[in-house]
Amino acid sequence: ASLELGPYSHFMQKEIHEQPKALSDTIEAVLENGFAAGLFGARAAELLPQVEGVKILACGTSYYAGLTAKYWIESIAGISCDVEIASEYRYRDAFANPKHLVVTISQSGETLDTMEALKYAKELGHSMALSICNVRESAIPRASELVFYTRAGAEIGVASTKAFTTQLVGLFALAVTLGKLRGRVDAAAEHDYQEALRQLPGSVQHALNLEPQIKAWSDKFAAKQNALFLGRGLHYPIALEGALKLKEISYIHAEAYPAGELKHGPLALVDESMPVVVIAPNDALLEKVKSNMQEVRARGGELFVFADLDSHFSESDGVHVIRTPRHVGVLSAIVHTIPVQLLAYHVALARGTDVDKPRNLAKSVTVE
């Protein structure tokens, strides 16, 4: 394994650092052809214009990619999107609208619950299914009319990293493509979205360069029992993903909340022993997040803030800040995934856990 790892200590660390390349490989076709239906397979030009809504089904980290995509699909394509955990969907009397596109998200393409959820959706009358998948010719894309292959390369660490960020690219491309088909994205907007994708690998590299600062934080987390992650809007699913990563590999109990919901429960947990990670880029909700942070500080909670320079945060007693160089706009959620991955990785290292093979978990769950 040491040959394959090169300069890295674990596959997870290697895979985190491969993200600029994984992302540029995945966006290549979009940069070449624009947001064309053909990105999603041979039948996409026929099927995508019929789509009136989107239903996303997935498990684990892939489910959080779906939660992020909901924001893009509703705002850019202007159609409704719901996102559901595959193992729940497959066992309920769900309502099916055949004009809705079923989108499954799966790194492996073999997760049993996701596969069964797809079959169930078909039984209920859905006839259009798109698979966002990292493994060519695996079971789920084979059972789907449409497919978008992420080009992350083999992912070995059990905790998903580069698969997640490349899934987000595929889902973003879907949102813009549907928006174009519906006349909501004109040529100028398409150009801007393409430009945002073009700059993404570079912005992700900037975020990776923060690793020494993030490592310096990890000792403060290693001794804790709990952690709380906060975000708002598109960054709320990234907070969820950050909490999941920390749970999976460091075994610290972590929860994520949309920051505006703090006052409805989790604020009761906050005291000096509760580190609170906040994802706070300079977006439309920044001022709201800042006031949520004051609520935490007032109860003695120590804040660990991931922001960009444009957020204008300064360090103070109990408030630690790590900044990316600038706010990147619509793809900010992807860039802010990097620091929470690195945080989980370094906390796990500090606690001496088996980073690439966490206890009780499997890379791909093909049983129920």
Residue 7 one-letter amino acid: P
Q: How far is the CB of 132 from ligand G6P (least distance, A)?
A: 9
Interface with ligand G6P, residue 166, by CB under 6 A: no
Interface with ligand G6P, residue 131, by CB under 6 A: no
Interface with ligand G6P, residue 357, by CB under 6 A: no
Interface with ligand G6P, residue 87, by CB under 6 A: no
Interface with ligand G6P, residue 355, by CB under 6 A: no
Return the residue of 31, 99, 361, 366 that touches ligand G6P, per CB under 6 A: 361
Stretch that binds ligand G6P, among 106-114, 177-185, 202-210, 256-264 (CB under 6 A): 106-114
Q: How far is the CB of 175 from ligand G6P (least distance, A)?
A: 20
- Cα 22 from Cα 4, distance rounded (Å): 17
Interface with ligand G6P, residue 341, by CB under 6 A: no
Could you tell me how many residues of this chain bind ligand G6P (CB under 6 A)?
Answer: 16
Q: Is 363 a catalytic residue?
A: yes
Q: How far is the CB of 299 from ligand G6P (least distance, A)?
A: 33
Cα 109 from chain centre: 17
Give 216 or 362: the residue with its C-beta nearer to ligand G6P.
362
Alpha carbon distances (Å) from 47 to 50, 98, 181: 6, 12, 11
Q: Which candidate, 245, 185, 252, places its Cα nearest to that of 221?
A: 252
Interface with ligand G6P, residue 115, by CB under 6 A: no
Cβ-Cβ contacts under 8 Å for 268 (sequence gap 6 or more): none
Q: Which candidate, 172, 165, 159, 13, places its Cα nearest to that of 103?
A: 172
Count of positions (residues) in the chain? 368
- Cα 213 from Cα 91, distance rounded (Å): 45
Return the residue of 37, 158, 331, 338 that touches ligand G6P, per CB under 6 A: 158
Provide the H-helix boundaries in 312-358.
Answer: 332-351
Stretch that binds ligand G6P, among 13-21, 68-76, 154-162, 324-332 (CB under 6 A): 154-162
Q: Which candidate, 322, 354, 101, places its Cα nearest to that of 251?
A: 354
Provide the 8-state DSSP code for 355: T
Q: Is 95 exposed, middle or buried (0-12, 13-18, 19+ CB in 10 A)?
A: exposed
Return the residue of 108, 165, 203, 341 that touches ligand G6P, per CB under 6 A: 108
Give 42 or 361: the residue with its C-beta nearer to ligand G6P.
361
> What mask of x and - would describe binding to ligand G6P in positions 26 to 65, judged by CB under 6 A?
---------------------------------xxxx---
- Cα 109 from Cα 274, distance rounded (Å): 37
Return residues touching ligand G6P (CB under 6 A): 59-62, 106-108, 111, 114, 158-160, 361, 363-365
Residues labelled as active-site residues: 363
